[in-house]
Amino acid sequence: MKVRPVLFVLKGYPRLSETFIAQEIEALEKRGIDIRIASLRHPTDTKRHPIHNAIQAPITYLPEYLHDEPRRVLSAWRHARTLQGYRNAYQVWRNDFARDRTRNRLRRFGQAMVLAAESSPDTQHIHAHFLHTPASVARYAAIMLGLPWSVSAHAKDIWTSPDWELTEKLDSAEWAVTCTQSGAAHLSSLATDPATVSLVYHGLDLSRFPKESANYSQRDGCDSSDPVIILSVGRAVAKKGYEGLLTALSNLPSQIHWRLIHIGGGPELERLKSHAEDLGLSMRIEWRGAQSQGEVFHAYEEADVFVLNSRIAADGDRDGLPNVLMEAQAMGLPCVATNISAIPELITDQETGLLVRQDDPDHLTTALTELLLKPDNRIRLGAAGQARVRSTFSMTAGIDDLEDRFKSNRIFT
């Protein structure tokens, strides 16, 4: 007897910034879930995490732009029109398009037709990661095929999508999970049946982390030849607040010797480098760009302090529960972060880390100064944060939940 597969719809695969999705897929494969991946985009990162090589799921890349593969799209349209659910899916799409007359909406229906036409005939369920474009494609394709579908919601997709679209997707989905209390509360308030939405932390695979506490240094910023090392990992985008971080760093007392390591790509990276130069910080900052997970782990071991200055961007985009904060704490690093979104679900101010107000560089400067000058405080907060992550944010409970969901409607062939 063979279990019929689950089709995961992802915006892009593999992506260095979405380790939590790769971690989930690998763990579910180990639990016996047969997963197939459909990606709306080809990969843009030049590196891969080792976990991507461990995943067995076959990958289909849908046409990112319909005009790039016209024959494939035309063939899919001809096939999709023969499916029993096509008329219903087309009507749902027309209703969406009436309120969102964009090329993006056209593209999603085309991708859904390709997905429905090319998916394995024994597929039992479609699951999307992110409630915006991947969920649109998953929803349209599931209706065409007459299959149940579900979704994992995260951050930007929750806070930048219109309420009407979130409500209709939640009402269409068999179930939805999200990884923060704040996100779950928001989505539950929009769903006709709030029970559709559940909180499932994605957590960490703690077997990948050292069991011992960090090897804490006694650097206190007094020795110019041995500066305190600050680490931040995140894409250079507005919601990560890097411009504010640079301002905060420029305001640190001149007698403190420090160095910042930044890991991550992103569209604002060159502008941030230029801004750092304008502030006279260039000699103190190492911009490492996008890195593999192994390289990121090495940076955690180098650092004395981790900082993430998350903020709510003008379009509403924001972090959920950043994986890098959990990783840094699992490595025993004391963390400074902002008190927005789900971050207070992870960090309790002055107990397991330091929380500051968003868009408040002076507050961030004060918090950083406290940790840079006081190694003993770093040790206390780092150990407490590590204990909290290990006791509460293991991925095991979340994977147990998802396994039960995918196996609850298990169909054999």
Is the pLDDT confidence value at 410 over 90?
A: no
pLDDT digits over 10-34, tens only? 999 998 888 899 999 999 999 999 9
**Can you read off the two tokens belonging to residue 120?**
């394995």
Residue 2 has a pLDDT of 56
Q: Look up the pTM and report it.
A: 0.86
List all residues 6 or more positions away from 304 whose beta carbon is below 8 Å from its beta carbon. Answer: 216, 217, 219, 228, 229, 230, 333, 334, 371, 372, 375, 378
**Residue 156, domain member (yes or no):** yes
| Percent of the chain whose predicted confidence (pLDDT) is above 90 | 89
Residue 232 has a pLDDT of 98
In degrees, to the nearest 5, what angle opens at C-alpha 119 toward C-alphas 113 and 123? 125
**Can you read off the two tokens belonging to residue 91?**
């009507």
**Residue 258, domain member (yes or no):** yes
Residue 214 has a pLDDT of 64
Quote the domain boundaries for residue 168. Answer: 6-203+395-408
pLDDT digits over 133-177, tens only? 999 999 999 999 999 999 999 989 999 999 999 999 999 999 999
Asked whether residue 81 falls in the same domain as residue 133, the answer is: yes
> For the purposes of burial, counting CB atoms within 10 Å of the CB of 224, is it exposed (0-12), middle (13-18) or buried (19 or more)?
exposed
Provide φ and ψ at 334, rounded to 5°: -70, 135
Is the pLDDT confidence value at 67 over 70?
A: yes
Asked whether residue 177 falls in the same domain as residue 244, the answer is: no
Question: Average pLDDT, stretch 99-105?
Answer: 96
Provide φ and ψ at 262, rounded to 5°: -115, 130
pLDDT digits over 207-237, tens only? 888 766 566 889 999 999 999 999 999 999 9
**Residue 1, domain member (yes or no):** no
pLDDT digits over 257-278, tens only? 999 999 999 999 999 999 999 9
Asked whether residue 270 falls in the same domain as residue 369, the answer is: yes
DSSP 261: E
Q: How far apart are CA 170 and CA 191, in angstroms?
A: 6
Residue type, 147: L
pLDDT digits over 331-390, tens only? 999 999 999 999 999 999 999 999 999 999 999 999 999 999 999 999 999 999 999 999
CATH of the domain at 274: 3.40.50.2000
Is the pLDDT confidence value at 412 over 60?
A: no
Asked whether residue 225 falls in the same domain as residue 165, the answer is: no
Looking at beta carbons, which pairs linking 337-340 to residues 24 or more positions away fall under 8 Å? 337/307, 337/308, 337/309, 337/310, 338/241, 338/308, 338/309, 338/310, 338/311, 340/310, 340/311, 340/312
Asked whether residue 230 falls in the same domain as residue 367, the answer is: yes
Asked whether residue 231 falls in the same domain as residue 175, the answer is: no
Residue ranges of the alpha helices (H) in 255-374?
A: 269-278, 293-302, 323-330, 343-346, 361-373
Q: How far apart are CA 404 and CA 413, in angstroms?
A: 19
Q: How far apart are CA 89 and CA 200, in angstroms?
A: 29
Is the pLDDT confidence value at 411 over 50?
A: no
Asked whether residue 44 falls in the same domain as residue 175, the answer is: yes
**Residue 115, domain member (yes or no):** yes
Is the pLDDT confidence value at 287 over 60?
A: yes
**Residue 336, domain member (yes or no):** yes
Contact 322, 234 (CB under 8 A): yes
**Residue 413, domain member (yes or no):** no
